[in-house]
Structure 1
Amino acid sequence: MIDDIVQAFQYFIKQMSEVTNPLDTDSIADAIKDICRLSNVGVMKVDVYMSITLIDTDEKEIHILYDDGEPDENVIKIKKVTGGSGAIIYTIFHKKGTEPWTERIHNRLDLMASILYMFTSSFVLNNIAQKYAFTDESGYHNLRYFGSELIKLVDDNKLKGLAAAQFNLKHFQGVNHQVGRDNGDIVMHSFINGLDEVKGCFVPVCRMGGDNFIMLMSADKIDDVIDYLKGTTVSFGDGFSERVNVSATAGIYIFEDDFELKILGDLMDKLMPASSLAKTAGRDDFIFCDSELMKIRQQIASIQHLFPLAIENSEFLVYYQPKVSITDGTIVGAEALCRWAHDGKLIPPKEFIPILEQSMDICKLDFYMIEQVCRDIRRWLDDGRKVVRISANLSRKHMLDVDLVQHLLTIIDKYEIPHDLFEVELTETTTDVEFKDLKRVVRSLQNMGISTSVDDFGIGYSSLNLIKEIPWNVLKIDKSIVPVDEDDENSPTSVMFKYVVAMAREMGLEIIAEGVETEIQVEVLKRNGCNIAQGFYYDKPLQVAEFEKRLETGVIIK
């Protein structure tokens, strides 16, 4: 018997010297079984913990190395060792109903466990390090893992036929607010797991942080992936009885034959601009990296480069679009709008405002415009002209500025502008934090006697909550819900417009309809009690001199 055990040990040590992972090697398993069988072992197992703080919990990997009958609870030999941030515990149970271990066998089993630990600890702890290096705290594979898998595919020449996408879950903070953080985590995991099944590539979807992800997919699965990202219903809650729709925006790149990838950054240089455009530019939810995208990138770079000098040279001009009382045609106010005069031509806002919105440059432009408006109002007052209330737009980027109200007052008061002649137009926000800041800003401005209006009402997701929670002075109804000539009184747009106006009147808000272009629309406004209009029917945005002529009479004849 002793000779058999010695031979088994010799074979065991020989095999240990030839393998890299003893826990997954058949020859080692056979050697362990021989030693255990000859040594009256009932069960031998190893518990692997990712952290020593998890010892004695269920958070472990269990490897059964030998199992031959019921163990004896009274006679147990445990070899317990830890290393690094993880822990490995070998446990050897004596087999019930067999001869007790001699000291010699006891020592050999102890030695076997020690040898196993010596060989397996570096492997197991390396796996622990890999896990922490390649996954985040929520269990998603991370960008480092994505990069390592990508380079493997490059080395194996397997990128052909694949595509990559960087995507952002739309309004997911709103989902968390709606269903709760814990359910939100379940929803996100379910959505990503479903995407893994659609994309046709073995590399899992990886998380870049927050609600931003990156993935590889088979190029022939792009349409399926886009359909999935456009909107997929995810179930959650008890019995998965509750549901929520999740969608995303994405930048997509199809690997070209001549594309050279040496580091992850080579791919990110293509994906990130496309993903950013999809998320912020309002062009499309899915942007492909191609020559058209390169033109857009060049346009963005050009505008960002020209902007500081354009501000310095006063290239941005204020145009005023009148707000008109539809009852008597008098001008009761105006909105200050921006135009860019550059190289002898006028650049429309849609070509530069969305680009400036991608950075804090938009805030610099807003303050520049407000300063020009205040100068004009001061000049009109000094000249004894009739003056109406002028409104200026503020980007929601300003919500990051905790001193916004003071910065506005500094400009307004520098020109000694009566506060009732100035109005701030703000659009709705997309996050809870911004909403709270918006509420604070509106209240602070009103305390200073400065009017505030909610711009583009009717195009957002939270418009009703916006006017319920925040004490606006003015409601500007977006042209998208102002009935057009083809709408009858029972059309959805007409019904919506009727009740929005009625609701605003009940709340004591001043109401302005934007985008009014026809006489029929004016009649609709009159019929529903909306008494102020802004739009081409009365006037387009006017240069300062033209607007001043309108103010001289104070009436627009129609």
Structure 2
Amino acid sequence: MDKIYMVLLVLMIIPILICIRYARKIKSDVAASIVKCLVFAIITILSNGLFVFSIDETFAYLMEALYLFSIDMVLIYILQYSQQYTMVFNEISPFRTGCFIVAYLDGISLFANTFLHNIFTLNKVSYMNYELFHIGTKSVFYHLHFVFAFCLVFCIIASFITKITRIPYFYRKKYFPILVVICVILVLNVVCDLSEFPVDLSLPFFVFAAILICYLSLYRSPKELVDKTLSIVVTEMNNMVICFDINNECVYANDRALEMFRISEGSLQAVSEYAKAWLAENDIENRDSLEWSDQKIIDNKIHYFDIEYRKLFDQKKEYIGFFLNLVDNTEKHLALEQERYLATHDTLTGLYNKSHFAVKSAEILKSHPDEEWLLLSSNIKDFKLINDLFGMEKGNEVLKMEAGLLKERCRDGIVYGRIGGDKFAICMPKARFQEEYFTDAIQTMGQVFNNDLYHLHIYIGVYEITDINEDISIMCDKANFAIKTLNENYARSIAYYNDTILNNTILEKQLVGDFDQALKEKQFCMYLQPQMTSEGKMLGAEALVRWQHPKRGLIFPGDFIEVFEKTGLIYRLDRFIWELAVQKLARWQQEGHSDLYISVNISTKDFYYMNVYETITALVEKYRIIPSTLKLEITETAIMTGTAGELDMIEQFREYGFQVEIDDFGSGYSSFNTLKDMDVDVLKIDMGFLRTSKPENLEKSMSILNMIISLSKTLGLSVVTEGVETKEQVVKLTQMGCRIYQGYYFSKPIPVEEFEKRYM
């Protein structure tokens, strides 16, 4: 009987030793706790077995103490394992430390009981003709030992129950079997204790529990969880996974694949057909894997896929089939196409944008190097007015209309696009260009969009490409330069670029670039053109500007005034000449010539860029001149295109003491209306008013001029006639009543020094 029992003990210990060896290979806190738990489980089994068949009483006391102490340690390490495995109460490590302290104290008292017998005593009883030791009397400390043990068991069970109630059903198989085994061991241990049977019947379940814990905690549960998780992932993943056997027949397709190919699980043949078509298009011979991209039409819709082909091998490296992993990139592909479209096309009109127009134009030019090409650029006159008058929607409608005409009339071999704002550009073969064709298109747009407030007019600049490697943006600039030569000409819509335009543009840029330095170095100088009586008496002069350029020599106003007006620099030049004129008047008045005056010009742009009144009066006060000796010439155009503020300012000038002249009177369209609306001192008439292409109209012009001079006298205005070139003109004008003249008949504009020598 003893031998049989010892064999049973060994048979129980061997599986535990195998579990210990397996658990030690796994590096984790859970595995380490299991190893310690199993070590004490072996001690528990051995100590209980040796206790049962002990002959010596002292040895029996010692084995029972070791048995009870090892039970404590097993429970503590099971508690530690449960906290690590379930992650419940894992943060209460001080409690676990306290358990170890109590266990050690309990062990000390149990081992001391071997000699003191103060915890329990042993008696011999007879079982099946065997004399066995059995616990007799039990002190309160013995019962406290079991209270401590049952507290540990309660914490273990509580941790598993808490975990099981918190997690989904999918994970409960990891924890529920272990909880059941622990409960069975607890019940058997209680039954043995209550029956006072000397052999602990729960010990075989220690072996079962050891195997189960190792299997569930370290092998089956992780593997099963991984397998099930992978199964769910494959089934529900966004990728399409399709598996095939060695006969290339589909044996599995996840939900995403079934949904994509509109098939049911029982009819996977359609997937096989798709797969065979894909595989036939790619070389997969002698390949274990391959990746490619493809597109397929499914339900009349194009789908774009990234496809991965991979062979499957079993543990013996034998081929068992293959799978396809398909990623549907349709949305991503369409988004990328949309992004590319937006990067290359204008969102409003759908035409190429500026950058892509340049790319496509360069491509077509280089692909046809022997052909002659034109680049056309269009510009809508005063397009901003459309937005201001009718709103952005109407402006967009006009742009879409022009884009539609381009799409309709420009065929293959022509590149066109919107290069910004209201500007469109076309790159086309010269042989296919017909001016009438584009003129008709312009007229078509004008007829569709035309009303009393705004008349649509489009200008087109044409540049003949001489160097296909030239930057496209420069070609567009040259076409736009041609448009500027039209100069608001409504009779023409198309202008052609030539080198003179570029040279003039470069020259203008040079003039603008030299302006600041010229002003700083006083390269601008004042010339004076005398204003005379018919008898030749000098009354004063008009201040005119010349540019003494260090490299180009003397530059006349016609070459730079208009440039400075367009670029907004004219007000700085005017102010400079005003100050020169005021300085000269101050010198004359100091020399006793207080009767002489100088007339200065005020341009339209001056009113926009500065306070003309404050500027001029500040100069007068600075140099202390007589205001009436500085005459102010304001063009009729400046007054008629300005605001009511100009009329108020003229009145302020006259109140201050200045004499105000209307320059170029008669050149506008509302001359008499101008006289009605404001008070001035002098009318300045240009003899260009008399120029006519028909000699028979000269008499009419003279009659009109005579009427203007008579009207001026009636209104109390002085009249100055400029541009007088012949004696006959002086005689006729004198007969009409004009008294002051200015023109080449008397003198051209001359430097101030020469003026003073000649007339003073």
The interval holding the TM-score normalised by the smaller chain is: 0.5 to 0.7
Residue 418 of structure 2 is matched in structure 1 by: 206
What are the residue-to-residue correspondences of 1:30-49 with 2, within 5 Å? none
Could you tell me how far apart the structure 2 residues matched to 1:195 and 1:528 are?
59
Instruction: Pick the aligned partner of 1:27 from 280, 297, 300.
Output: 300
Residue 464 of structure 2 is matched in structure 1 by: 254
Matched, 1:318 2:591: no
Could you tell me how far apart the structure 2 residues matched to 1:403 and 1:207 are?
38
Once the two structures are TM-superposed, the CA of residue 544 in structure 1 deviates from its matched residue by 1.9
Once the two structures are TM-superposed, the CA of residue 182 in structure 1 deviates from its matched residue by 9.1
CA, structure 1 residues 251+523, in 2 after alignment: closer, same or farther (shift >3 Å)? Answer: farther
Once the two structures are TM-superposed, the CA of residue 538 in structure 1 deviates from its matched residue by 2.5
Q: Please tell me whether the aligned partners of residues 236 and 242 of structure 1 are also in contact (alpha carbons under 8 angstroms).
A: no
Could you tell me how far apart the structure 1 residues matched to 2:648 and 2:342 are?
44
Partner amino acid for 1:515? G
What are the residue-to-residue correspondences of 1:138-537 with 2, within 5 Å? 139=348, 145-157=353-365, 161-170=372-381, 185=395, 192=402, 196=406, 206=418, 208-209=420-421, 214-216=425-427, 219=430, 221=433, 223-224=435-436, 234-235=446-447, 246-247=456-457, 251-256=461-466, 258-261=467-470, 264-268=472-476, 270-271=478-479, 275=483, 279=487, 288-326=496-534, 329-343=536-550, 345-427=553-635, 435=643, 438-439=646-647, 441-459=649-667, 472-483=680-691, 487-488=695-696, 493-494=701-702, 497=705, 509-526=717-734, 528-537=736-745
Could you tell me how far apart the structure 2 residues matched to 1:466 and 1:231 are?
36
What is the TM-score when the length of structure 1 is the normalising length?
A: 0.61
The alignment partner of 1:387 has SS state of: coil
Could you tell me how far apart the structure 2 residues matched to 1:366 and 1:241 are?
40
Once the two structures are TM-superposed, the CA of residue 297 in structure 1 deviates from its matched residue by 4.1
CA, structure 1 residues 153+527, in 2 after alignment: closer, same or farther (shift >3 Å)? Answer: same
Partner amino acid for 2:599? S
CA, structure 1 residues 524+308, in 2 after alignment: closer, same or farther (shift >3 Å)? Answer: same
The alignment partner of 2:750 has SS state of: coil
The alignment partner of 1:539 has SS state of: coil
Could you tell me how far apart the structure 2 residues matched to 1:198 and 1:458 are?
48
Q: Please tell me whether the aligned partners of residues 439 and 470 of structure 1 are also in contact (alpha carbons under 8 angstroms).
A: yes
CA, structure 1 residues 260+207, in 2 after alignment: closer, same or farther (shift >3 Å)? Answer: closer
CA, structure 1 residues 217+245, in 2 after alignment: closer, same or farther (shift >3 Å)? Answer: farther
Could you tell me how far apart the structure 2 residues matched to 1:272 and 1:452 are?
40
Could you tell me how far apart the structure 2 residues matched to 1:397 and 1:486 are?
35
Larger radius of gyration: 2
CA, structure 1 residues 430+405, in 2 after alignment: closer, same or farther (shift >3 Å)? Answer: closer
The alignment partner of 1:296 has SS state of: helix
The alignment partner of 1:164 has SS state of: strand
Once the two structures are TM-superposed, the CA of residue 337 in structure 1 deviates from its matched residue by 0.8
Could you tell me how far apart the structure 1 residues matched to 2:445 and 2:704 are?
28
Once the two structures are TM-superposed, the CA of residue 374 in structure 1 deviates from its matched residue by 0.9
Structure 2: any 5+ residue segments left out of the alignment?
1-257, 264-269, 278-292, 303-327
Once the two structures are TM-superposed, the CA of residue 380 in structure 1 deviates from its matched residue by 0.7
CA, structure 1 residues 375+155, in 2 after alignment: closer, same or farther (shift >3 Å)? Answer: same
What is the TM-score when the length of structure 2 is the normalising length?
A: 0.47
CA, structure 1 residues 482+183, in 2 after alignment: closer, same or farther (shift >3 Å)? Answer: farther
Partner amino acid for 1:254? E
Matched, 1:543 2:745: no
Could you tell me how far apart the structure 2 residues matched to 1:176 and 1:503 are?
44
Measured against aligned partners, the alpha-carbon deviations of 1:150-202 in whole angstroms (never above 9, x if no partner) come to: 3123224467544234455456678999x877998599669947984998565
The alignment partner of 1:536 has SS state of: coil
Partner amino acid for 1:9? R
Q: When you count helix as a share of all residues, which structure comes out higher?
A: 2
Once the two structures are TM-superposed, the CA of residue 6 in structure 1 deviates from its matched residue by 8.6
CA, structure 1 residues 7+297, in 2 after alignment: closer, same or farther (shift >3 Å)? Answer: closer
The alignment partner of 2:616 has SS state of: helix
Could you tell me how far apart the structure 1 residues matched to 2:706 and 2:260 are?
94
The alignment partner of 1:9 has SS state of: coil
The alignment partner of 1:357 has SS state of: helix
CA, structure 1 residues 132+445, in 2 after alignment: closer, same or farther (shift >3 Å)? Answer: farther
Moved more, 443-452 or 390-399: 443-452
CA, structure 1 residues 173+358, in 2 after alignment: closer, same or farther (shift >3 Å)? Answer: same
Q: Please tell me whether the aligned partners of residues 252 and 286 of structure 1 are also in contact (alpha carbons under 8 angstroms).
A: yes
Once the two structures are TM-superposed, the CA of residue 331 in structure 1 deviates from its matched residue by 3.6
Could you tell me how far apart the structure 1 residues matched to 2:650 and 2:400 are?
39
The share of aligned pairs that are identical, in percent, is: 23
The alignment partner of 2:730 has SS state of: helix
Q: Please tell me whether the aligned partners of residues 455 and 476 of structure 1 are also in contact (alpha carbons under 8 angstroms).
A: yes
Q: Please tell me whether the aligned partners of residues 684 and 722 of structure 2 are also in contact (alpha carbons under 8 angstroms).
A: yes
Q: Please tell me whether the aligned partners of residues 334 and 389 of structure 1 are also in contact (alpha carbons under 8 angstroms).
A: yes
Q: Please tell me whether the aligned partners of residues 377 and 426 of structure 2 are also in contact (alpha carbons under 8 angstroms).
A: yes
Measured against aligned partners, the alpha-carbon deviations of 1:442-474 in whole angstroms (never above 9, x if no partner) come to: 455345333333433444567677666665544
Q: Please tell me whether the aligned partners of residues 173 and 431 of structure 1 are also in contact (alpha carbons under 8 angstroms).
A: no
Once the two structures are TM-superposed, the CA of residue 481 in structure 1 deviates from its matched residue by 1.5
Q: Please tell me whether the aligned partners of residues 465 and 475 of structure 2 are also in contact (alpha carbons under 8 angstroms).
A: no
The alignment partner of 2:353 has SS state of: helix
Cα RMSD between the aligned structures?
Answer: 5.2
CA, structure 1 residues 141+272, in 2 after alignment: closer, same or farther (shift >3 Å)? Answer: farther
